[in-house]
Structure 1
Amino acid sequence: MSLCPFWGGVDPSTGEVMDRHYPLAGQRLGGAVLVLPSGRGSCSGSGVLLELILSGNAPAALVFSELEEILT
């Protein structure tokens, strides 16, 4: 598991992972179930998640193994 950087790492209009260092680089998150230890970054990640939802490109579910307060 690695951390998904929503802010700056995911295109909110397409759901494509743009962070080339992330294992899912080049793939789209729409409809996926992401299993992550926690989020990464500031509260702007939740804004990207909202944009993904509004564009219809959001993951189907986010599962965290650690307490997550920003993305949830």
Structure 2
Amino acid sequence: MDLLEEYADYLGCQYLSDLRYLKISPQQARRIEMLPDSGHTLDEYNEAARYILGASAPYSSIREARQAIIEGLMRR
């Protein structure tokens, strides 16, 4: 399962596109932070960040990309 599908499934989205409009709670954010990132590359995290957040600069680490995704999902 790719990273976007994993996030959509984990957050209960029926469609991948729901990730673009979803607002998450602090509890969901903490759970996302605890998900293992093994099996996913930095490129996959950058792709997920671009898809979920719109245009964004590439991140230099998985942790940085994941944090940007979480912050973006919480700000909506």
TM-score band by shorter chain is: 0.3 to 0.5
Q: Larger helix proportion, structure 1 or 2?
A: 2
Higher strand share: 1
TM-score normalised by the chain length of structure 2: 0.35
